[in-house]
Structure formats: C-alpha cells, structure tokens
Amino acid sequence: MEVKEVWIGNDHGGFELKQQIVKVLIEKGIRVHDVGTDSTEIVRYPYFAQKVAGAVSDGRAARGILICSTGIGMSIIANKFKGVRASLCTSTFMGRMTRAHNDSNILVLGGKITGVLEALDILDVWLSTEYEGGRHAISLGLIQEAENAICNPAGWNPAGSST
C-alpha cells in the first residue's frame, strides 16, 4: 500500500529532525499534515502526540510520525490511543520489522539520539515495508482484543491465562 499522506508531530526536541523529514516526504510526493511545534522553544510533547495519535485512532490518518528528544515520551502517550501501534525505532531493522510484523501506523523517532541520515533511512524502510500478515495477525488480534477489553470496565482476561 503506497503511503499518500502522513501526519507529523513534534516537540522542541524533534523540531530540527522534523524539518529534514518533511522535506524528504514532500520530495517523495507524500502529503504532510504538520501538527508539530515550529521552533525549539520548550513545549509539552503530549499535546502534539495527541494530535497525531488521535488522528490515527479515529481514522483521519493512516500513518503518523512523532519526534521528541528520545522518542520515549511520544511513544508512551501515542500507544494510549486505541488502534495505535506506535513504534520507537532506532535502526532500519526496527523500522522494517515494526511494519512487517506489527503493522506499525506511527513511527516514533528521537531527535536527539538518532542522527539525521539514520532517521531518514529508518523513515524510508518504514514507508516502503508492507505488513506481512499471516502468523503476525494472531498477535495483532490479541492486541485489538486487549484494547477492547481494557477500554471496558470488565478488563482483559485473555484465553489460556490464569486469573
């Protein structure tokens, strides 16, 4: 599936890397919906993560990118949203595997820990790798089952687990 549009959000720690990523996305002909901060002035990352993860969760966006200093905070908040599979990647192998095995819909990068060239390589493989399905669909089904139950007051008790 060709990626046609990406929502991107960042805090101050991801501003410089975002500029490079947006340039590459535009060169690839991918529309960019930029909801991140436009400077290195200190801001709070959860506000920007919510914009991208909310759009993916409610179906306004198929794919998103989040960037903060380490990527850790962004990935934590993004994965609170139902249907979001945000993956913090620090290598091209991680970028490939998270798409192939986890059908990742949000790429999370650390603007202060991953160099620009490595981040662009990760982005390229994340954009071009297709989800494999097959045996991986079982795990994604369990994740969806857990989300449905956790968002339900009764909680989640997966089949085969002890109570």
Catalytic one among 12, 33, 89, 101? Answer: 101
Amino acid, res. 37: T
| Token code pair at residue 16 | 């410089």
Helix (H) or strand (E) holding 118: helix 116-128
Q: Is 51 helix (H, G, I), strand (E, B) or coil?
A: helix
Of the candidates 150, 139, 133, 136, the residue with the CA atom closest to the CA atom of residue 81: 150
Catalytic one among 68, 89, 136, 151? Answer: 68
- Active-site annotation holds for 101: yes
Can you name the residues that pair with 33 across neighbouring β-strands? 7
- Active-site annotation holds for 68: yes
| Token code pair at residue 29 | 């002909």
Distance CA 142, CA 162 (A): 16
DSSP strands (E only) in the chain: 5-10, 31-34, 64-68, 86-88, 106-110
Query: Active-site positions?
Result: 68, 101
